[in-house]
A and B are shown apart, each in its own frame.
Chain A
C-alpha cells in the first residue's frame, strides 16, 4: 500500500521531481549522453539511471511513465467496472432475455484473444493520420484505456451478475418490492450497496492487468507515442540494444514488476479483509 501511495505521489509530482533532477522527460542530452555511434551512456552522477537511445534521462522518463501506467490502470478499471456493474445488475436482476443476450455478449468478448484483437484495433486506428471511428479514436492513452476496458468489463459483469442472482432472492429485496419499489430502485438503491465489497476486491486486481496491458501494447510499439514516456515503450526501445545498454530494460522492468506486484498484493489484502468466505 505504501508503495502505491508513493507511486501516486510520484505521478502527481512528476514535474517538480524532474525539475529537482534538472532534466525534462523529452529533453535531449545528445552531446553528453550519446557516444559517436549514437549509443546511450550508462548511469552516472547526473543521470542516475543512464540515458536512453535518444539521450534522454531514463529516471525522469520513468517518473513520468508512472503517470501513464496509473492513468491506464485506474481509468481502464473504472470504465470496465462501470460497464460491468451496470450490465451485471441488469442481467442478474431482470434475468430472462436481457440476461441471455448480455451473457452471450460477455462470453463472446471473453472468448476473444485480447492481445491479438487489441493489436488489430490499435494498428487499424494507428494506420492513418485520422485515427479511426471518424477520427474520434486516435492512438494513445485513451485508446489503450478503451480497449482494455472493452475486453475486461465482462469479468466484472459475471461477478456482479452472480452476486445479484443470489441477492435478488434475499428478504430485503422482497421487502423493498412489497412496499412498491420499482426494479431500478431495487437494483441501484438496495442491491448495489451490497456489491461494493466484491467490486472493490476485483477492481483492485484489474488495475495491474490494465497496467501490464498498456506495457504489452507499448512494447509492441502500439501504445502511447514516444513523446509520452511509458514503461512498456521504454523496455521495448531498450530491448534492441540491451546487450550494450542494460539499464534501458532493467530499471523500467523493475518498476513495472514492483507496481504490478503491489496492486496484486493490495487486491489480495482487500479480498482477505472484505470477503468473509475467504480463508485467511
Chain B
C-alpha cells in the first residue's frame, strides 16, 4: 500500500551523485555537508548541543533544549496502526526513525542531498558487502537500551525478530517486498519455515544477512523502520495487524508517554500505552534510557522535552493557531495558499514558510488495457494537451511543486530534468501538437485530430473529491475535451478512490487521485509501479497495467486489448543489477523509454512539501527522507508560546 504512504507524505530530494556507493559512508560522523550556509545561524543556548541549521533548515534566536513542541494534524492517518512492522505512512516513518526506534542504518534527518545519505545508527558502521555483494555483516553499538519498563540492552536477536515479524502474514507488514531477497525470507512468509535462514546472529552484537542476489541498495532498505529492533517479550504478544503500535517500546530519545508504566509481566497484563490514542493524538516524552553518547547529534538533537501531536480536523483552526503561537506546526496538511501568500509577502514572516522537495510525482494515470488509452497515440496526445501550469496553480503555484515531464523525480536521476518528450510552451499544453498526435490514432476516424470513435465518450475519470484534487478535475476535463476525449467524472473520498483504482477489475481508464513518492532515494522505488509482475487483483499500484500479459488478464478476469501492452520488466531488472553512475544512467534510459514507448502517465509536477512554523519555533529542519519536519532537530522557546 505504498500509495497510502504517498498520498499523505513522502520523501525527499537530492542529487544522488555516486548513488549507492553507500558503503563508503559507513562509520564516520562526517558532518561536512550539514550545518552550513544558513543565513540564520543557531547557537548553543546552554540547554544542550544545538547544531546550526542546514541549508534547508531554519533557526532564530538561541535555540535551547526543553519545552513542549505542539503539532496538530487532521488525522493521524496511520496505515498500519503505527506498528513499525506494518506502518507505511511517510510521516509515521519520520516519528519512528527519529523519535522512537533506532535501526541499523539511519539518516541525518535534514534537507537536501546530505539528508538522504545513509549513516550508521544502531550499527557501528555500514559495511562493504562480501561474497559478490550477497553477504552483509553488521556490528551493533553497545549500550543501547530499550525504554522502560524493559530497560535491557538491545541485541541482534531483536533485529532478527523484527524481520520475522515482517515475514509473519498476520502482522500485516506493508513492504516486505523489499526484503524477499534475504535467503529464507520468502520460505518463512509462505509458512514453510519458522525462521529466516539468511539471517544469522553469531553473537549479540553481530548480525549477518545472506542475500540470494547482490542488492546494492540494501542499506537503504535497512533504514526503513520495519527493520529496527523489536523486543520479542512485547512484540510476540501483539502479532495482529497494527496491534503492536500501541504497545511499542523503542530505543530512541523519546518514548510514548506512559510506556514506562506498562506492565509487561505477561501478555495478558499488557495494556495500550495511554499516550497514544489513534483518535486523539500521540505524545512523546523523553526516554530515560537513551544515551546520547551512542547516537550522533547529526542524526538526533532531541531538543524538546515533549512532542505533543493532537488531532484537530479543522484545517483553518490549525493554521490560525500556528500563526497565533498556540501550535508550533501542522502535520499532514499543506499550508493553505492564502496563508503562504501572506507569509511570503512579509519580510518578517517569510522565513517561517518552508517549501522543500518531497521527491514525489503527481500524475495522470492512463490504463493501457482500456480504450481509448490502449492506443499510445491517444496517451501521447493527452501528454501534449494537458496544461501543466494550470495543474501546478491548482496545487498553489510554484511554491507547491516543480513542473515535470517524466516519471521519476529528477533528484533521483542526478538532477536531470532534460527528459521532457512532450514539452510545450510554458508547460501550458499545446492543442495543435496534441491533435497531430491524435490524428495517428485509430480512434480518430476522420483524422482531424479529434478523438471521435464511440470509445472517446463517457470515459470514466476518477479523482478525489476535495482540495487541490478537485481543482484538477475541471482542468483535465477541459484539456481532454479539446482533443475529443469526453471524461465522465467520478469524484470519491480518498479511501474509496484508492480502493476503486487499486482493484483491477474496475478497469478505471484514467485517474488523478494517486500520487507517488520514493520509499528510499533510488529510482527503483518508482519502477515498481510499472513492473508487470507486481500486478495484483486488489491493492494494485501498477494502475496502468504496464507489462500485463494475456495470461494475467485472463486470471484477473479482464479483457486484454488488441494492441499488445508493452513490458519494462527486463529494463527494471537490468537497472536493479547495476550500481553507481551506471545505475543512474540506466534509470534515465528507463524513464525515457517509459515516456516515449509506453507512456502510462501524464506526469505533471514534483511536489514540494510546505510547512508553516509558529512564532515559538527557534529551530527547524526538513527531513528529506521522510518528506516532513525533522522532529529530531526542532527547538521551541516556551516563553513565546501561547
- A residues near B (Cβ < 8 Å) are 26-28, 30, 34-39, 53-56, 123, 126-129, 221, 225-227, 237, 240-241, 243-244
Contact = CB atoms under 8 A, between A and B. Distances in A.
Given A28-B478, A54-B394, A129-B506, A227 B473 contact: yes
A55 B390 CA distance: 10
Given A129-B462, A129-B508, A227-B474, A37 B493 contact: no
Nearest to A236: B466
A38 B475 CA distance: 13
B496 A37 contact: no
Contacts of B496: 127-128
A213 to B, nearest CB: 19
B489 A225 contact: yes
B395 A38 contact: yes
A36 B460 CA distance: 31
A207 to B, nearest CB: 28
A37 B337 contact: yes
B525 interface: no
A129 B488 CA distance: 11
Given A28-B478, A128-B496, A243-B338, A221 B394 contact: no
Given A26-B477, A53-B471, A221-B465, A39 B489 contact: no
B341 interface: yes
Interface in B452-494: 460, 462, 465-466, 470-471, 473-475, 477-478, 489-493
B221 interface: no
Interface of B: 315-316, 336-338, 340-341, 387, 389-390, 393-399, 460, 462, 465-466, 470-471, 473-475, 477-478, 489-493, 496, 500, 506, 508
Given A129-B508, A221-B465, A226-B491, A39 B474 contact: no
A37 B465 contact: no
B471 A54 contact: yes
Contacts of B462: 129
Contacts of A237: 470
Given A27-B478, A240-B316, A39 B471 contact: no
A258 B491 CA distance: 30
Contacts of B460: 129
Contacts of A39: 337-338, 341
A226 B492 contact: no
Contacts of B389: 30
Contacts of A244: 338, 341
A225 B491 contact: yes
B474 A26 contact: yes
B314 to A, nearest CB: 11
B492 A26 contact: no
A29 B478 CA distance: 11
Contact of A126 (B466, B470, B492, B508): B492
A37 B396 contact: yes
A129 B500 contact: yes
Nearest to A26: B474
Given A126-B492, A244-B341, 7 more contacts: A27-B478, A28-B474, A55-B390, A126-B465, A126-B493, A129-B500, A221-B466
Q: Which of B337, B341, B395, B496 has the most CB of A within 10 A?
A: B337
14 contacts: A26-B477, A27-B478, A30-B387, A35-B341, A36-B398, A38-B471, A54-B394, A55-B390, A123-B493, A126-B465, A128-B500, A129-B462, A129-B508, A240-B316
B397 A38 contact: yes
B478 A129 contact: no
Contacts of B336: 240-241
Given A38-B395, A39-B337, A243-B338, A226 B489 contact: yes
B474 A241 contact: no
Contacts of B341: 35, 37, 39, 244
A240 B336 CA distance: 9
B397 A36 contact: yes
A243 B490 CA distance: 30
Q: Which of A53, A54, A243, A244 has the most CB of B within 10 A?
A: A54
B623 to A, nearest CB: 25
Contacts of B490: 129
Contact of B393 (A27, A34, A123, A127): A34
A221 B469 CA distance: 13
Contacts of B315: 240
A30 B397 contact: no
Contacts of B337: 37-39
A24 B546 CA distance: 38
B426 to A, nearest CB: 10
Given A38-B337, A129-B460, A240-B316, A226 B470 contact: yes
